[in-house]
Each structure stands twice: as structure tokens, then as C-alpha cells.
Amino acid sequence: MNFKLRLLLPALLGFTIACTGRHNQDVAQDHPFSVTDTMMKRITIDTVKKQQVRGTITLNAKISAEEDKYVEIFPMVGGNVTSVNVESGDYVKKGDVLAVIHSGEVADMERQLTEAQGDVAQATKNLEVQQDLYTAKLSSERDLLGAQKELQKVQANLTKTEEMFKIYSTGRKSDYLVTAPISGFVTDKKISHDMLLRSDNAQNIFTIAQIDEVWVVANVYESDISRISEGMDAEIRTLSYPDKLFKGKVDKIFNILDPQTKTLRIRIRLPNPGFILKPEMVATVTLYYLENQFYAAVPSSSVIFDRSKNFVMVFHDRSHVETREITIYRSTDDHTYISAGLLEGERIISKNQLYIYDELND
């Protein structure tokens, strides 16, 4: 090969590479990154604001019926259970017959009522006779007054017996009817057909609860007691409805620690349309409180976790979007508080920012 040609080849090759590199750079400059009109419609841009830090406390809890809206039903007499008309979970109306007890005590009360009615009838007839005799001057005023007092006595006994019958609901002869004192759901049942109940039975046989409004009772550990106050916002989730969020406020603090668990009970009232919340359901309560610190806050949805670091996409304009590393002070479901990396007033992308992140960082 010609000596001069060998000297020229490296120079020509370097020139070609330089031209190619310049061409690629020109192409890159001709097509800089820019957020398209379609993407602008899909993303959401939020402004960074300095906010007071909102802390959270997570507690274990249980759903229960209101104490003022449930009743325990005790049998007024002993006897043999001849029928049970409801099961646990049934809805009953006030006055519905829950069970029937065939009882010797009821039979004895019926006998007493019959005797009291007979005594009144006899005393009334005797008074009429004494009035006739007194009018005919065949008996003394003392005899008349004695007949009147006797009638008053037996009438008082009849009234007493009748009042007992109002308390002891009765059906056909010797049957005691267990009726519902309120409308609600049967939450507990301790009676069955053919059961023999003792007259001194001290255990309730039914519990009925109204659950149109329920209590959420949570246990607070000693380390969190100082942060608890009435009126705190609360969010409740249950195992039965994991995707459903219930919101309420702390309305009572029971200021006595449980000696066994060393916890303090708090109560949250919740409306219960459709009766979906049942007594004894397990729940998780999240309480929110304010700290005496202020940090830049962004929606938690705007934070990208990648390569063991946290980032946000800072939006300057459609052609200038910056991937910015941040330091998180605290995160909640709604907000993330930033201790370093963002300034108040900057704008960040909080929705669909991953598309832009991947475009800029792949």
C-alpha cells in the first residue's frame, strides 16, 4: 500500500467518527424529551406545601353493640322448654315470642288468680247482702263496714295478682311466654327445646341488641396514651370488609387501665346502615394526631421507590422534568413528609409519574 495512503487512513477514520458523533448529537438535540399532550392529560401536578406533620397510631379493636341498646333476657320461672322460635342472628320485633316454657309456677299463679277473682265475687255479693240488711235495719253499721273492708282487701289481692300476670307473660294454661322486650338481633341464645330450667336459674337465655349504631372499642398501650384525646379522627378497617374504610371520631376515653393487658380503652361510635358491622368483629383502628413539626408534604402516591431510594418527579415545564431524590421523615396513606430534597412551592407529578420516570431513567 502507498505510504501516503497509510498515513491518510487514520485521519480519515477519525474524521468519519467525529462527523458521526456530531450527527448523533444533532439528532438528540433535534428530539429533546418533552411531555406530550396525551401524557399531560394523564398526569396530575401538585404543588409542594409545608404542613404540620400528622402522626398515626394503629390499634387493635373489636366491634360491639351499644350498652344502652342491648338487653339480656332471664326466665322469670322454671319449667320445661316446649318450643324455641328463634336462632342467633335472627331479627325480632318487640313483643315477638322467643320461646315457651311449660311451668308449674305459672299454673300456681293461674290458680291464685282464679281464687282472687272468686274472693272478689264472694265479697261483692256479701256486701250487697249487708247493704240490704242494713237498709232493713236487720244488721249493724259495723257489719256493713266489715263487708266493705273485706271487699277492699280481696280487690287489692286481685289487683296484685293481675299485675303479676302483666309481668309474667302467659299463653295457654301453665305456659310462660318469653317475649322480646325490644326490636333487634338475637346475639346470644342459651336455650334449647326440651331443656329443663330451674326456678333459681341465674343465667340469661337470650341477648337482643340493636346495631343500627355500633361501638368500636380499641385498646391503647401506655406509650401512646399521651397522644390520645377525645375528638381525634379515626379510620376503621375490618377483616370482613378489608377494602371498606369506616371513619369516625374518638368519643370516649375510659380512664382506667386494664390490670391484665395494661391498656386503656377508647370508644368510637359508628353508624351501621345495612347492619354490616356485627358485634365481636375484629377491627383495626388508625388514629391521627398533629406533631409540633412542619415539613414539605406531597401526596404519598407521588413517591417512587427504586434502587433502595425514594424519588419524586419535579415538574419545571413540559421540556424540563427532573428526577429528584428525597429523604422521607414520615409517610401516611395520604401524605408523605419530606425532610430533604424538596422546597415549598415546587411542583411535582403525583399521578402516572412512573411513565416519565422510566422514559428519563432507562
Helices (H), the chain: 3-30, 37-42, 104-135, 141-167, 353-361
Give the largest Cα separation in the chain, rounded. 173
Q: Work out the pLDDT band at 190, boundaries 50, 70, 90.
A: very high
Residue 2: its H or E element: none
Mean pLDDT within 190-211? 88
For domain 56-67+210-291, the question of CATH label 2.40.30.170 is answered with yes
CATH value of 34-53+293-361 in 3.40.1160.10, 2.40.420.20, 3.40.50.720, 2.40.37.10: 2.40.420.20
3 state DSSP class of 352 = coil
Q: Work out the pLDDT band at 116, boundaries 50, 70, 90.
A: confident
CATH value of 71-103+174-209 in 2.40.50.100, 3.40.50.12280, 3.90.79.10, 2.115.10.20: 2.40.50.100
User: How many CB atoms lie under 10 A from the CB of residue 289?
Assistant: 16
pLDDT for 12 equals 44
CA distance between the termini of the chain: 46
The CA distances from residue 306 to 43, 48, 347, in Å, are: 20, 21, 21
Whether residue 22 has pLDDT greater than 50: no
The CA distances from residue 328 to 48, 88, 189, 349, in Å, are: 14, 50, 53, 17
C-alpha 140/C-alpha 132 separation (Å) is 11
Q: What is the pLDDT of residues 254-277, one digit of tens each?
A: 989 988 888 999 999 999 988 999
pLDDT for 172 equals 57
Whether 244 and 309 have beta carbons less than 8 Å apart is answered as no
Least confident of 31-40, 139-148, 157-166, 332-341: 157-166
Q: What is the pLDDT of residues 3-17, one digit of tens each?
A: 444 444 444 444 444
pLDDT for 236 equals 95
Q: What is the pLDDT of residues 59-103, one digit of tens each?
A: 999 999 888 888 999 888 888 898 999 998 899 999 899 999 888
User: How many CB atoms lie under 10 A from the CB of residue 96?
Assistant: 16
